[in-house]
Amino acid sequence: MLKRIAQSQPKITTDNHAVIYYVLGTLIALGPFSIDMYLQAFENIATDFHTTKHAVELSLTSYFIGISLGQLAYGPIMDKYGRRNPQLIGLLIYIIAAFACYFATSLTWLVIARFFLAVGASAGMVASKAVVRDIFKNNMDVARAMSFLMLIMGAAPILAPYAGQLVVNHFNWEYIFLFLGGFSILMFFNVLFLLPESSTPNKKVSLKPLSILDKYIGILSNPEFFTFSIAGGFTIGAMFAYVSDAAILFQDVYGIENFGLLVGLNALGLIAGSQINRYIIKKIGVLQLTLKISIMLIIIAVLFLINVLTFNNFYASFVLLFIMMTFLGFQNPNCTSLSLNPFGKKAGRASALVGSIKMIFGAITSGVLSGIGIKSALPLAIISLVLYILSALLLFRYNKRVKLYRNR
């Protein structure tokens, strides 16, 4: 059946770009729903499993590990077999893992099930970026398409905390994963019937581990890819540090019990930044705008750290976090498009490695915060500032080298 549908699937034309955006946007939405929807349930999960909220953060860490390793696996698979069929397999893994989370009877079970949930979700993250790179030709079009995709899935991080709170208020926390399982079934049929194949399968691609490792090392050794993927990884690591620490930050540090609105508003800032970015890059250029935003992120992180060390005022912290997330809305799509630029249509593995690098930093920062285990905003402030400085150093080092090369 799958083979017959694959043979009769629609072709990519300018007329069906909107449908493709819809499918890819909803696939990406699985990520924020899988993370933001269950943040509200940390306390309930900790109570049921007789543990602490910091220990529950390990289920986020395992998710980030799973989504980073999963993307590395899907990259060569999608280069060999195309984008569409591996995506269907990924969704099947996600569906099974979502129901495994629903039936979890211990934190260890939940942590392991969340790992496989991430492995399934990673297929959509690889496919969405690779399909965009398949369709569009130049750097600016890719950046604009990435920003538009963030608008399509923009409701997810805003609605997810509300949906999670609704479930927690009226049902057990396990029903969050029942919802995610049902949502992923809908996504499966969207891909099956609406998403055309954007890449010609290449049977010559080897799936041998050493060959895969060699290819990834080759991609990472590209100076342009290394600079923008690692720089973007640093800033996304800071964002996931905030996400993993949100329950403790708002509930335990600032005493805000129902913090879903706050998480949603910060997500709105991320989306607003990504959409403004679509228009500003036409005038400033992708690289120059990214350099300017990196400086702004450092300034905001310094102000956030000063506030935490002195007044530790909730309103100041929230405003600064909102601005920080807005600037990340500029940084993320730009770094992604710049890192994929050298690879043209051979973007499957590069797309996978970009996403994996981001999630590796997410796993590290969430793991560090879980290990520190203190109820304070100070670790988040320090981690954010350090990562933004490292990101800026990489970007300006690359820009300096480009200028020297041009002046020769």
What does the pLDDT look like over 253-289, one tens digit per residue?
898 877 777 877 888 888 888 878 878 887 788 888 9
Contact 243, 299 (CB under 8 A): no
Query: Distances from the Cα of 367 to the Cαs of 170, 244, 252, 353, in angstroms?
Result: 31, 9, 19, 21
Distance CA 144, CA 65 (A): 29
Query: Distances from the Cα of 258 to the Cαs of 36, 181, 220, 246, 305, in angstroms?
Result: 13, 25, 42, 11, 24
Q: Which has more confidence, 102 or 167?
A: 102
Quote the pLDDT of residue 122.
Answer: 85
Residue 403 has pLDDT above 80, yes or no: no
Residue 79 has pLDDT above 90, yes or no: no
The domain locations on the chain are 12-194+208-403
Average pLDDT, integer, range 23-34: 80
Q: Give the range among 40-44, 62-66, 193-197 with minimum mean pLDDT.
A: 193-197
> Which 8-state DSSP code applies to residue 10?
P
Residues above pLDDT 70, as percent of the chain: 86
Q: Give the range among 132-136, 314-318, 352-356, 399-403 with minimum mean pLDDT.
A: 132-136
Quote the pLDDT of residue 202.
Answer: 76
Distance CA 380, CA 23 (A): 34
pLDDT mean across residues, the chain = 83
Biggest alpha carbon–alpha carbon distance for the chain: 67
Instruction: Give the number of other Cβ atoms within 10 Å of residue 292's Cβ.
Output: 13
Q: What is the pLDDT of residues 302-351, one digit of tens each?
A: 999 999 999 899 999 999 999 999 999 888 888 888 888 887 655 667 87
- Please tell me whether residue 352 adopts helix, strand or coil conformation: helix
> Which 8-state DSSP code applies to residue 198?
-
Distance CA 331, CA 28 (A): 18
Quote the pLDDT of residue 184.
Answer: 92
Distance CA 198, CA 23 (A): 13
Quote the pLDDT of residue 139.
Answer: 59
Average pLDDT, integer, range 207-219: 86
Angle between helices 260-284 and 17-36 (to 10 degrees): 140
Query: Distances from the Cα of 6 to the Cαs of 10, 93, 325, 335, in angstroms?
Result: 9, 20, 39, 33
- pLDDT band at 3; cut points 50, 70, 90: low
Residue 204 has pLDDT above 70, yes or no: yes
Query: Distances from the Cα of 342 to the Cαs of 51, 221, 223, 249, in angstroms?
Result: 47, 12, 10, 40
Where does 12-194+208-403 sit in CATH, by number? 1.20.1250.20
SS3 content of the chain, % helix, strand, coil (to 5): 85, 0, 15
Q: What is the pLDDT of residues 279-313, one digit of tens each?
A: 888 778 888 899 999 999 999 999 999 999 998 99
